[in-house]
Amino acid sequence: MPLFLPTDLSETLALLADHPEARIMAGGTDLLVRLRAAGRTPGTLVCLERVAELGRIEALETATGPAVRIGAAATITDLLRSDTVRQRLPLLHRAASAFAAPTVRNAATIGGNICTASPAADTLPALHVMNASVELASRRGARILPMPHFVTGPGRTALEPDEVLTGVVVPVPRIFTIHHFEKVGQRQAMAIAVVSLTAMLAVEDGRIRDARLAWGSVGPTIVRCPEAEAILRGSRLTLTALTEAARAARRAVAPISDVRATADYRRQVAGNLLLRLADLPGRKPGS
């Protein structure tokens, strides 16, 4: 089993160009488990753990405003320890705090969570509602894709064989006053989401100026519901408005039945999680 440990991005891209069959590994918390479960040998691996530039978290000023760039090899623990993430991206910080257990967070990376492309991934709904984009690089050049264009289905992405995800750029959501992440699982800890909801609301003078909503584990990819968002815009944050939005959400989701839950249960919970926002009018970013 060839194992390569590059120390910079250029070396990484050269290895991927020379070994198109290689698998990229960062923390390995998903890849190695899946290979072991399938009884397969890993084959050629290009590990990113020594590429320091892929682990950085930094604040940026872009043409459209402030943003945070998170290197693909930054671990979930890195996100939780980062003051930049906690202060500027409180929603992502909340999602990271619900991610598995500390030992897994120490190894699992944001790039791995994105590239695994699981509908139940904890970071993906937050990245979707914050309009994040991923940076991709190969020896042919670099490109940037919005999150919805990168994750194309369960376990499927737009990543080419010779490409590596180098980072994710997240615009700082400045007008939003409510940042909420919640997931329902079969147990209190180490739970894979049966359903998750990520919500950002901008509430001013008692009315919702803007709303962004995303659900996990209720479709082949992360599900947005423009109809529910439109219902909430201009409304007061009341149970009546949320109930109407919840009905729209239940129509929008497309869950499946599996060993963790039935499709009907997931559909009902997707709406119910939205109703819980009625109890959060005073929540501030990062609280």
DSSP secondary structure, 25-38, as one string: ESS-TTHHHHHHHH
Instruction: Read off the pLDDT of residues 14-71 as tens digits, 9 standing for 90 and up.
Output: 999 999 889 999 888 777 767 776 677 778 999 999 999 999 999 999 999 999 999 9
Q: Is 281 exposed, middle or buried (0-12, 13-18, 19+ CB in 10 A)?
A: middle
CATH architecture of 178-279: 2-Layer Sandwich (3.30)
Q: Of 150, 134, 133, 131, whose CA–CA distance to 221 is shortest?
A: 150
Q: Please write the tens of the pLDDT for every residue from 104-138.
A: 999 999 999 999 999 999 999 999 999 999 999 99
Structure tokens belonging to residue 192: 């894979």
Q: Where in the chain is the domain with CATH 3.30.465.10?
A: 51-171
pLDDT at residue 232 greater than cutoff 50: yes
Q: Is the pTM of this model over 0.85?
A: yes
The CATH architecture that domain 51-171 belongs to is 2-Layer Sandwich (3.30)
